Amino acid sequence: MTLPFDPEGALNARVGPVNQIGHSFYGKKIMSETNVSPVVEEIPKADHSKCDHDHGQCAHEPGKEAEVKKLRQEVEIKDIGPCKKHIKVSVSREDIDDRMNDHFKTMMGDTAVRGFRPGKAPRKVVERRFQKEVGDQVKTEVLMASLEQLAEDHDIAPLSPPELDPQAVVIPKDGPLVYEFDVEVRPQFDLPLYKGLKLTRYVHTFTPEEIDGQYKSMLEIFAEKVEKNPPVVAEGDQVKLEALIQDGETKVGEFKGLEVRVSKQLAFRDGVAENFLEQIQGAKAGEVRQIDIKLSSMVANEALSGKTVQAKVTIQEVKSFKIPEDLGYIFAAYKCKNAEQLKEMGEVILKRRLEYQQKQAVRKQVLEQVAASTTWDLPQDLLRRQAKRILSRKVMDMQSNGLSDNEINARVRLMQQDILESTALALKEHFVLQKIAEVEKLEVNDSDLEREIDRIAGMNDESPRKVRARLEKDDLLEALAVEVIERKALDLILESAEYDEKPLGGAEDLRTETAEVDAAPAAQEGSQAPAK
């Protein structure tokens, strides 16, 4: 059976008891999101002896899972565009009437109706009094059972919630219950060979200088910012900037009093100054420099999408970082006794980062080889809707690999610059790994998730309970299950691969500072005039 809708994509691999959010294709997820409650006030618990249908546990008993005979329903599925289907379901009137009849039978024994002793009200009176309540509950049960049956009988892998409003579905007085919806689905494709791939594994041994550099960066978190003398900009300094940003002669943005750390790149919310260090180093306070900013594909002003604009940047002040002479409290903050232990911790951080880079490099190679023969037309609107979910999964993956908040923010900001392209690549990888998981019958169970939560907690120095609570609050447990199942699929590929080792050739140069401003904010009246 297909997992019910998960917010990060279709989890077509079978997932075990961890996924108790619902057992239907979308049903319980839909009901919970639209606040349609299956509980009907004043309807007593079911008396199994009075039910006509076959069952293990009564479908209409509140809080119980149904094991009823299959619904008699007709399903029409039509392709209405790339990765999108229209589904129309008609549920037999006989099945609806059977459930209505069962509910009213359970109520006849002791239901209180004004003017009658408990259990003595005529059936017609009970039906009139509780018609709406029973009808609402039967509709909920039928929808959930129907969607579950739809998942079991048809190969549909949803990418996002279906366009279905349960409250708009009504049980007619006569004839079948009919509902229909549009849903985005995983594209259909054939898997090429994915075992015995030839891959390159990039290796790197950290030098004492690299370890010392990481040690220094860990100390600088506690450093004091002081006026630099002479105030000449260098990498690692803190600068205060103001800028006028132009596309040719047209002003597209500005900022004042922006304080940032000088690094190789500066990532704005809507663009990246890829050569920030090169273009600003050596400048003195009061000097003006020109910085090139490449705007993202999702910039507020669509006319500027992908363009490179120029910022006339004035350096207002330059500060450096002074590490305190007494390092005892810094060691204590890291739970270390001395510099040697802190350097060992720094080396562990470097190795975690390297391991993450190695995994990403291998994933890229696998995708290039396995998915090279597949072409999918992924709609732009689908990519826009999936972008946030993909970023959430990427963040969770980085957290589970022990990357720092600063590193995660930098990577996310760079991914956001060309969000549609990065989302398309991530979805393509997702489709391939999910299908491999399905073919290989890979599963995720409770213990798998507990181990993953423990790993994230250990990497981030948090308690597993706190991590789980955060994942539940952000509705990311199913996304975590997706990550685990995809990692299992990737591990299966890597176990049979043949490797050629090559030096990394220098660690990934991610030196990126983030700025919480837009380089080209949404145009306001009169703001797009030529700059003076």
The residue whose two tokens read 């037309």 is 377
| Cβ atoms < 10 Å from Cβ of 297 | 15
Per residue in 382-435, pLDDT tens? 788 788 878 887 888 887 777 778 888 888 888 877 788 888 888 888 888 888
Mean pLDDT to the nearest integer, 239-246:
96
Q: Which CATH architecture has domain 27-184?
A: 2-Layer Sandwich (3.30)
Q: Is 221 helix (H, G, I), strand (E, B) or coil?
A: coil
What are the structure tokens assigned to 447, written together? 């213990």
pLDDT above 60 (res 293): yes
What is the assigned CATH class of domain 335-496? mainly alpha
- DSSP state letters, 140-195: HHHHHHHHHHHHHHS---BSS--S--GGG----SSS-EEEEEEEEBPPP------S
| pLDDT of residue 478 exceeding 70 | yes
Query: pLDDT tens for residues 86-135?
Result: 999 999 999 988 888 887 777 776 667 677 767 667 777 767 777 788 88
pLDDT higher than 50, residue 62? no
Q: Per-residue pLDDT averaged across 301-322, rounded?
A: 93
Alpha-carbon distance of 47 to 258, in angstroms, equals 69
Spatial CA neighbour of 485 closest among 12, 26, 155, 151? 12
Between the ranges 51-55, 475-479, 500-504, 510-514, where is the mean pLDDT highest?
A: 500-504
Q: What is the pLDDT of residue 523?
A: 63
403 C-beta neighbours (distance < 10 Å), count: 22
Give residue 161's pLDDT band: very low, low, confident or very high (50, 70, 90). confident
Q: What is the pLDDT of residues 421-476, one digit of tens each?
A: 888 888 888 888 888 998 999 999 899 999 989 988 887 778 999 999 988 888 88
Q: Domain map of the chain by residue range?
A: 27-184, 224-322+509-532, 335-496
If phi > 0 it is left, if psi is from -120 to 50 it is alpha, else beta; for residue 397 that is alpha
Nearest residue to 25 (alpha-carbon basis) of 122, 157, 209, 169? 157
Looking at residue 402, its pLDDT comes to 74
pLDDT at 182 exceeding the cut of 80: yes
Query: Could you check whether 27-184 and 224-322+509-532 share the same CATH topology?
Result: no
- Closest Cα partner for 489 from 413, 432, 421, 451? 432
Residue 493 has pLDDT above 70, yes or no: yes
Residue 312 pLDDT grade (very low, low, confident, very high; cuts 50, 70, 90): very high
* CB hemisphere CA count around 370 (13 angstroms): 30
Q: What is the mean pLDDT of residues 352-378?
A: 80
What is the rounded average pLDDT of the residues 351-360?
86
Q: Does domain 224-322+509-532 have CATH number 3.10.50.40?
A: yes
Check: CB of residue 262 under 8 Å from CB of residue 277.
Answer: yes
